[in-house]
Structure 1
Amino acid sequence: MRDFIHRIGLAGFLFGTGLGAAIHPAAAASFDCERAELAADEKKICDTRSLNDADVKMVTTFDILTGLLPMGSRGTLQEEQSSWLKKRQACNADAECIRNAYSERMKQLDEAYKGLSRPM
């Protein structure tokens, strides 16, 4: 299975299996869109389907990758995620900035996945 995911890429696996497309209309993957006080970036993500989809894809990829990493590497991945989140938040309601932030983060997560040790 790991070889199969490696060949098609983690994002391709997620969307090919439907894991990346399961969206509840009132929630992005990483936060509740019904929360009373949303930050500007969160509101834009909730209001824009393509950004909501990008959030679902990113957080699903992050969660799967976290489970595949050895314990010592998980902290680093989580620190990188926190830094990335601050960058996304700095976009405020700028959809293009948010879209670029997700694109950049997905490239980083894909690279982290490619760097995983695989049994021969």
Structure 2
Amino acid sequence: MLNVFRIVVATSLVCLSAGTVAASFDCSKPSTRAERDICTDETLSELDTHLATYFKKVISSSSQDDAAKLRQSQRQWLTEIRNRCQDKECIKLAYESRLDQLRLSGVKDDDYNWEDDCRSPQMPSGGADCAQYVASKKREAVENELRRAYEKVVSALPNTQELADEKQLPQKVAFVDFFKSWDRFRKDYCQIYGELTGGAQVWKSANAAECEVDSAAAQTRLLTTLLKCIDSKEICMFPSQFGYGF
């Protein structure tokens, strides 16, 4: 009887390892065709786990309102895109597209490297086209992070000059105008920087994008520091303590 039990258990384990792989949901109870395909395909299972892990990281880095919108968009993606797929290639493309969308949040995806895409058949050289592609992807992510920091500062700044003077902060409308001017200057500066670096146009574009990435990242750090000062109820000494520019 014991030997029979061992045979049954061993057979079950072999079947399980051959037929299913790990996923972010219960593969013993797949509810859609897409889930069944994911549970029997290692590549799709890895994509599913990757998305689930990264989605949680993005949610934890988002405000309450943004997190609610993200959860809603994730549910919509599951029902209207992934679950409508009729083959594994469709599922793979759906996951890759969703991951790209989430990366625009600016939250670092530890399991992804943009440079890897440059080794694809579309960009075999890994040269200028690759550099431009990576720089543009970084710019999208960093500028989304900058936008969120900017919106938080704007919402925290005083509406009246009296309150602004009390903490030596700019009035909200003045800061908005100031930031728009800085952003125009940044883009003009980086465009000129790209042109001066020489080389083919694709290299100029890549260098200009890298310049925008660096300046946006620096500005995000300054805005984050400014926001902490505003929240601390201390005198922030704006703008001398939080200088802007390059």
Runs of 4+ with >6 A deviation: none
**Aligned counterpart, 1:119:** 221
CA 1:51 to 1:26, structure 2 compared with 1: closer, same or farther past 3 Å? closer
Q: What TM-score results when the alignment is normalised by the length of structure 1?
A: 0.71
In structure 1, which of residues 82, 94, 98 is the aligned counterpart of residue 91 of structure 2? 98
**Aligned counterpart, 1:76:** 69
> Secondary structure at the residue paired with 1:55?
helix
> Secondary structure at the residue paired with 1:112?
coil
> Matches of residues 34-113 of structure 1 in structure 2 within 5 Å?
34-35=28-29, 37-86=30-79, 87-92=81-86, 94-113=87-106
> Secondary structure at the residue paired with 2:52?
helix
Larger radius of gyration: 2
**Aligned counterpart, 2:26:** 32
Q: Distance in 2 between matches of 1:32 and 1:54?
A: 15
Residue 119 of structure 1: how far off its partner (Å): 3.4
Deviation string 1:50-108 (CA, Å, 9 cap, x unpaired) is 0000001101110000000011111111111011101100004x100000000100000
Q: Distance in 2 between matches of 1:45 and 1:119?
A: 40
Q: What TM-score results when the alignment is normalised by the length of structure 2?
A: 0.36
What is the root-mean-square deviation of aligned Cα atoms in Å?
A: 1.6
Q: 1:88·1:98 contact (CA, 8 Å) conserved in 2? A: yes
> Secondary structure at the residue paired with 1:32?
coil
Identity over aligned pairs, percent = 29
Q: Distance in 1 between matches of 2:46 and 2:70?
A: 21
CA 1:42 to 1:90, structure 2 compared with 1: closer, same or farther past 3 Å? same
Q: Distance in 2 between matches of 1:101 and 1:81?
A: 12
Q: Distance in 2 between matches of 1:106 and 1:56?
A: 11
Q: Distance in 2 between matches of 1:56 and 1:88?
A: 14
Q: 1:27·1:34 contact (CA, 8 Å) conserved in 2? A: no
Residue 26 of structure 1: how far off its partner (Å): 5.3
Structure with the bigger RCO (C-alpha within 8 Å, sep 6+) is 1
Q: How many residues align?
A: 93
Task: Give the counterpart letter for 1:28 in structure 2.
Answer: A
**Aligned counterpart, 2:158:** none
Deviation string 1:1-31 (CA, Å, 9 cap, x unpaired) is xxxxxxxxxxxxxxxxxxxxxxxx65411x1
> Secondary structure at the residue paired with 2:47?
helix
> Secondary structure at the residue paired with 2:100?
helix
> Secondary structure at the residue paired with 1:74?
helix
Q: Which runs of 5+ in 1 are unaligned?
A: 1-24
